[in-house]
Amino acid sequence: MSEASPAADSGDTPAAPPDAPPGRRFEPDLRSMTRINLRPIASPMPLGFFTIALASVMTGCLQLGILGEEARTAVAFTVLPAFVLQLLVSFLAFGARDVIAATLMAVFAGSWLPYALIMLSGAPDGLRVLGVFNLALLCFGALMTAVTGPKRALWLVLAVSLPRWAATGLAGVTGAEWLTRASGVLGLVVALVAMYTAFALMLEDMRSEQVLPLGRSGPAHLAVEGDLAVQLRNLERQAGVRRTL
């Protein structure tokens, strides 16, 4: 009769499943020893919406003729920081596990950079290129509206941005002056909606309750009104915790 080894008797080595191939090492179940640390952050969304509002006012005033053609370079310089600020908002939103807000803010950031660079450089046929670019943004925005419904604030800003992207794109491609003016008016509408949303979110954060209506529903409503158990639901399956994206 063979003797059992001391290591096996001590219980230091976990028992292998009966159908395991010889020579395989099996780790113990680590779930009871695993800890997931969360770091609360301030919401970056008011900054993102205020940035959209300010940049939309400047570009809208240029399109409406309130600012003359000689102001293009100055407008480009005022819009350029919007790229940096919204990229920062996107980065923080990814860290806050909000992929929809992060993606939308990153795309907005990416829309301000080419506009500012083309206005600064005076690249040949730049307005036509921006027109095609805005039509591509329109396609992206149309897809995003299908998933941002519960986040009514994001959805509303996106919904008013869609006709502006359409007008700006068609104006750049066709050169129609009335479409440029229409895009300028729509830009001011986008600014008003984004300003309201940013203000409502800041009031909510300061008073820890909804003051102005934001229209959240479904998971977005539960994320704000639910308890901690709701926030941590399915956490082990989220990006950054699970092994693959």
Under the banding of pLDDT at 50, 70 and 90, the label for residue 7 is very low
Instruction: Give the tokens for residue 88.
Output: 């920062």
CA distance 217 to 107: 24
pTM of the predicted protein model: 0.76
User: Is the model's pLDDT at 220 over the cut of 50?
Assistant: yes
Mean pLDDT value of segment 18-22 = 55
Other residues' Cβ atoms within 10 Å of the Cβ of residue 236? 11
Q: Which of 10-19, 44-53, 233-242 has the highest mean pLDDT?
A: 44-53
Residue 101: half-sphere exposure toward Cβ, Cα within 13 Å:
24
> Could you report the per-residue pLDDT of 155-188, keeping only the tens digit for each?
888 999 999 999 999 999 998 999 999 999 999 9
Q: Quick one: pLDDT at residue 171?
A: 94
Block residue for tokens 């807000």? 101
User: Is the model's pLDDT at 1 over the cut of 60?
Assistant: no
User: Is the model's pLDDT at 225 over the cut of 70?
Assistant: no
pLDDT, mean over the chain = 81
> Could you report the per-residue pLDDT of 203-213, keeping only the tens digit for each?
887 876 666 66
Q: Quick one: pLDDT at residue 109?
A: 93
Block residue for tokens 């909000």? 98
Mean pLDDT value of segment 66-95 = 92
Q: Quick one: pLDDT at residue 3?
A: 45
Higher model confidence: residue 6 or residue 165? 165
Q: Quick one: pLDDT at residue 2?
A: 42
Higher model confidence: residue 215 or residue 185? 185
Under the banding of pLDDT at 50, 70 and 90, the label for residue 10 is very low
Q: Which of 14-18, 149-153, 158-162 has the highest mean pLDDT?
A: 158-162
